[in-house]
Structure 1
Amino acid sequence: MTASARPWVLALGLLTALRLVAAMMLPPAPDEAYYWIWGRALALSYYDHPPMVALWTAAGSGLLGDTALGLRLLGPLSVAVASVLLARAGNALFPASGAGYWAAALLNGTLLFSAGSVLMTPDTPLLVFWCAALWAWVQAHLRQDGRWWLVFGVLAGCALLSKYTAAFLGLGVLIWMIAAPRARHWFRDWRLWAGGILAVVVFSPVLVWNAQHDWVSLVKQGGRAGSVGTGSALRYLGELIGGQIGLATPIIFVLCVAGIAVACRRFWRGDAAAGLLAAATIPAALVFLWQSTGSRVQGNWPAILYPSACLAAAGYLSPRWHRWRRWGISVGLVLTAMVLLQAALAPLPLPRRSDPTLARLGGWQDFANRVEELRLERGASFVAAEEYGLASELALHLPRGTPVIALGDRWDLFNLPEPPPGGRGLLIRSTRRGEAEPLWPQSEPAGEVSRRREGIEAERYRIYNVTVIGDGPRKVALPSRR
């Protein structure tokens, strides 16, 4: 380890330790609880996403139990590995400049990567394998060794097993080889095509599952690209750009945009390495911008743009930009610490409308305890919910052995048992769903209960008395904590 690398490695180790502490302290979000259900009902793929997040959740829970840290264990650890690989890619592209360390530091300064890595969502393994595949791509270019395409293929396949947006990796490579004269010779190398075949083989479980289920997952995700929303194009575009400025943090966002702009200019002048970074960023960015002209682009979707953009910012911007790197990283890490601190300890008594951490993370264990008290008081044999996140949170937080029943179309494709008929239970339903009748037939209103954190209400729920009958949507019994 060189003297210049030692402080960076120590900082990464400290940051990883802090992320593990945060992962242990933060209550699981509804989507994380939902992915925990996936890990307890492993399948080749799922309606919402490919299976990598389920595998990671199952592995962590198998090691540390059905705890918050167990669900998230692989996130902070793998993000540290991804940071090292991104740094190695940058140091190889820009030798003797330390640009790789700066690129990884910039990426770790974004809320998308830094705070996002604490939570277990499909974006976490996606970004890890994206960084690893980008590193392999850089090695193939710099070493001119086709064996690296085999490595790239396996890593790109793992990225595809994480989230479908990893397809932009293959598109980026194709555009780069077409546009960069120095890269076109790869079309004649069999190892490039073998790498593509390896990617498809790794991804094949998702294809098999989709073939068995009328291609529902691919149709759903592909349909999003052409969907039309109810808002104006300017509104959606503004939300996309404003969201990225916030999630990347303002200074790092500007640095990334400026870095990619310089990379595009250098690529125009014949720099194949600059073209590599531009091809890894621009095609996906253009697709997201196009989609925002007709529908909302979720803030986490463009996360794949930042590894290559951070490399460009660290490697191509002139020295007059360098002082902004430290400011960007510092501001990003401070904002990350503030968000995680508020989510874990809520030092600021903010209402729901001002605190997204309250809405998603606040008060789940106390809420589950209150629901269990009501179940016992009323002699109910189970608890049920229509919303997948609410049902998953209840399954994760209710005492071991308390049955939780989920209902709705989302559960049709899970291999989970149906509850026996005749049982009487409580249906918990958020008041956000309005006054419409519950999906459960023959339900009887029975009061309300709220979820709170430090006395501040996060959400209110209606309670209904229900009985398991054959009518209505499919009902499944969710796994409970081990």
Structure 2
Amino acid sequence: MMDVRRSRLAFLVLFVAVLLAKCVVAARLPLFVDEAFYWQEGQHLAAAYSDLPGLTAWLTRLGVSVGGDTLLGVRWPFLLMGALVPWLMVALARREFGAAVGWQAGSLALLLPLSGTLGVLGLPDVALALATLLCLDAGARLLRRADAGAACELAVGLALGALSHYRFVAVIGVGFVALLLLPEGRRALRNARVWAGIAIGALAWMPLLAWNLSNADAGLRFQLVERHPWAFHLDGLWFIGIQALLATPLLLVAMLAAARQGIAGAWPSAASRYLAWSGGLLLLGFFLLGFVADNERVSFHWPLPGYLALLPLVPWVLAAWPTWARRATWALLGLGMVAVLGYYVAVSAPHLRERAAVGKAYPENFAGWDVLADAVRGEQATLPAGAHLLADNFKIGAELGFALGNPRIPVLDHPLNHHHGRAPQLRLWGLHRDAVSGIGDGPVLLVVGATDVPYKALLARYHALCAMVGPLPAPRVVNIDHGRRRFMLFRLHGRRVGPCTTPAMAWLDAPVAGAAVDRTLEVRGWAFKDGVGLSRVELLLDGQPVGDVPYGQRNTGIAAYWQISTDPSHPHVGLGGRMHLGAVAPGTHWLGLRLHGRDGSVEDWAEQPVRVR
């Protein structure tokens, strides 16, 4: 059916090319916020943590212990583990279905974006994928003969999965059901060796169980209750659409066909039925879960275990397709892999990332941490000895911790800490703070993420900060990618008293982002600064002042919307008038505002693009 030599050569070439590309990307791609937190967990070694079992943190600790506190230092254990996945896929498919099928299945695993990019990021999904394949391989072997080798492999896979993520429970449950559905599987489950392997795998859950028992089930409650709405929502359709893109459309069709044909007994081996049941049930479960589960955090990677179960069967499906369809499937897979790696390259390049600043695909969890770290270092250099650093939320604390080599940066209470299940862990480390008074004596540099909450909730967050640290002094504003990411650096000297003073808030109603404008244009919007108010507002073009925008126009709708606002100028917070841009060249330029507070603060607002005719 297939040329073994050609299939093997294709796999080897792809393996080397993909691995080299992944290493280059992993050495340049900024740390994702979750990776930074796993690094922080690795600096506080424990058997388990509030968000995950211990393995991911242990691997990051191993990585930086050997490779140093660098991007590649964090990620090399995950790259190595991810490199094992296609080889294990080859071993499974080759033993069960022949050499040619094995090499092709390995190539599919290399090009499927979700599995092919494993290891570029230091995430628990790498170990979870490897554990899934070990269990699938062990299950297929047990259908032939329940020997000690297969039982040991099952034990290793179950233990590795238990130490990787709560989500591995789905793999265990579906694998058990798949074995029960087959006569060969039921026979294997009557063997004492198999249950010894299962018992060893079960023991690996004990650290996570002990952590939850000691912490009021905080991890379980977050993973199973708090993070999910458990109510029907149509975002599940979007979830399925995303899968069609990430798995590539033709390969997804082939995998679904493999599940259907395998369950129907199109291929005679018990292993094919076992893999089809495992993959089909996992995909069905995760696709249905998409309609009732968490639709705010990243979840597109959840179905990967199901894809891994079905990939060994796909070469048989493709063999029955016409030549053009097979070629199109491989071509789309290659394009999908290039697209995902290209996305990571774009995220790594500031000038490319900047172009996405006005789009929905802006990678904010990767963006600007190096710029922020440089700004913090600059502020720290001018502060007295003994000054403390205080982060607004766990993302800032972890990312700055990695950049500055300090895993013990205190963190204020923040909705994000609870939203991502990290608040209990911060408390266990003694890094949670409810007020600046808990930091210690001496000055404090508070780093706040102005874009870490939705804009409609930003003023409420500023007021919450006032309750924790007192009126906020004039900030140093760090705008990244034209303000798509904004950070505020506040120098605090003890808890201040007085009415709440916040950073300024603003909006441009006209011109809208992307509008075509003349060199003379109509500007309209609003701005205010709680506690003190604004003295004037400048219009900026590409960061340079154009002139003062008439400010102080009556606008009663702003105070009605921002009901907690305490700017003394309300309702006279509108701005607008005709502005002349001068002799600016035609093309795309960035329009912004510079807000001057009556307390002497000067804050540059986020910019938006306009096309000058």
Query: Which bin holds the TM-score, normalised by the shorter protein?
Result: 0.7 to 0.9
Q: Cα deviations across residues 15-66 of structure 1 (Å, max 9, x unaligned)?
A: 2122111111111111111110011011111111111110111111111111
Q: Which residue of 1 aligns with 2:86?
A: 83
State the one-letter code of the partner of 2:425. L
Alignment of 1:212-231 (within 5 A): 212-223=214-225, 227-228=229-230
* In structure 2, distance between residues paired with 1:184 and 1:8: 35
| Cα distance change of structure 1 residues 401 and 243 upon mapping to structure 2, 3 Å threshold | closer
Residue type at the aligned position of 1:40: Q
Superposed CA RMSD in Å reads 2.7
Q: How does 1:223-372 map to 2 (within 5 A)?
A: 223=225, 227-228=229-230, 233=233, 235-266=234-265, 271-297=269-295, 298-320=299-321, 321-346=325-350, 348=352, 349-354=354-359, 356=361, 358-372=363-377
Gaps of 5+ in 2: 432-437, 496-613
Partner amino acid, structure 1, of 2:378: E
| SS at 1:117 equivalent | coil
Give the CA deviation at 1:392: 0.7
- In structure 2, the residue matched to 1:472 is none
* Distance in structure 1 (CA, Å) of the matches to 2:329 and 2:106: 11
1:464 to 471, 490, 495: 490
Greater fraction helix: 1
| Contact persistence 2:398–2:407 (CA under 8 A) | no
CA deviation map 1:428-478 (0-9, x unaligned): 2222331122457133323242352xx544401233344678xxxxxxxxx
What is the aligned partner in structure 1 of residue 397 from structure 2? 391
CA contact under 8 A between 2:134 and 2:153: conserved in structure 1? no
| Residues 321-346 of structure 1, C-alpha deviations (whole Å, 9 max, x = no match) | 53344223322222133212212225
Task: Describe the shift of the 1:260–1:270 C-alpha distance in structure 2 as closer, same or farther (beyond 3 A).
Answer: same
Indicate if the aligned counterparts of 2:25 and 2:341 stay in contact, CA closer than 8 A: no
Q: Distance in 2 between matches of 1:402 and 1:140?
A: 45
Return closer, same or farther for 1:366/1:288 CA change in 2, 3 Å cut-off. Answer: same
Measure, in 1, the Cα distance between the counterparts of 2:273 and 2:67. 43
Superposition pairs of residues 197-208 of structure 1, within 5 angstroms: 197-208=199-210
1:360 deviates by 2.2
Matched, 1:184 2:186: yes
Paired residue for 1:416, among 413, 417, 429?
429
Higher mean Cα deviation, 51-60 or 126-135? 126-135
CA drift at 1:347: 5.8
CA deviation profile, 1:380-429 (whole Å, cap 9, x unmatched): 8122223211211111113x569732233634435535575223212222
Which is bigger in relative contact order (C-alpha 8 A, separation at least 6)? 1
The answer to whether the 8 Å contact 1:186/1:192 transfers is: yes
Q: State the partner residue of 1:157.
A: 159
Q: SS in structure 2 opposite 1:428?
A: strand
Aligned partner of 2:125 in structure 1 is 123
- Partners of 2:227 and 2:294 within 8 A in 1: no
Distance (Å, rounded) in 2 between the aligned partners of 1:45 and 1:326: 41
Q: C-alpha distance in 1, partners of 2:18/2:303? A: 23
2:90–2:105: 8 Å Cα contact kept in structure 1?
yes
State whether structure 2 residue 478 is matched by structure 1 residue 450.
yes
By how many angstroms is 1:224 displaced?
Answer: 5.7
> Is residue 159–residue 204 contact of structure 2 (8 Å, CA) maintained in 1?
yes
Aligned residues: 460
Q: What does the per-residue CA deviation read over 1:224-254, in whole Å, with 9 as the maximum and x for residues that have no partner?
A: 686335xx63x22112101212222333323
Please list the CA deviations of residues 174-207 of structure 1 after superposition, one character each: whole Å capped at 9, or x if unmatched: 2122211232212321111111101012222212
Shift in alpha-carbon separation, 1:83–1:260, aligned structure 2, 3 A:
same
SS of the residue corresponding to residue 204 of structure 2 reads helix
What CA distance in whole angstroms lies between the structure 1 residues aligned with 2:342 and 2:210?
A: 43
Counterpart of 2:450 in structure 1 is: 431
TM-score (norm 2): 0.69
Contact 1:343/1:361, CA 8 A, preserved across alignment: yes
Q: Runs of 4 or more off by more than 6 Å in structure 1?
A: none
Distance 1:317 1:364, change over 3 A: same
SS of alignment partner, residue 188 of structure 1: coil
In structure 2, the residue matched to 1:441 is 468
Looking at structure 2, the residues matched to 299 and 383 of structure 1 have their Cα atoms a distance apart, in angstroms, of 35
Deviates more, 1:273-282 or 1:67-76: 273-282
C-alpha change, 1:443 and 1:121, in structure 2 (3 Å) is farther
Query: Which residue is equivalent to 1:382?
Result: 388
Tell me how far apart the structure 2 counterparts of residues 354 and 362 of structure 1 sit (CA, whole Å). Answer: 14
- Answer whether contact 1:381 1:403 (CA < 8 A) is retained: no
Provide the rounded CA distance (Å) in 2 between the counterparts of 1:280 and 1:68: 35
Corresponding residue SS for 1:462:
strand
Assess if the C-alpha contact under 8 Å between 1:130 and 1:159 holds in 2. yes
Q: Any stretches of 5+ residues in structure 1 without a counterpart?
A: 470-482
Counterpart of 1:474?
A: none
Structure 1 residues 338 and 67, CA, compared in 2 at 3 Å: closer, same or farther? Answer: same
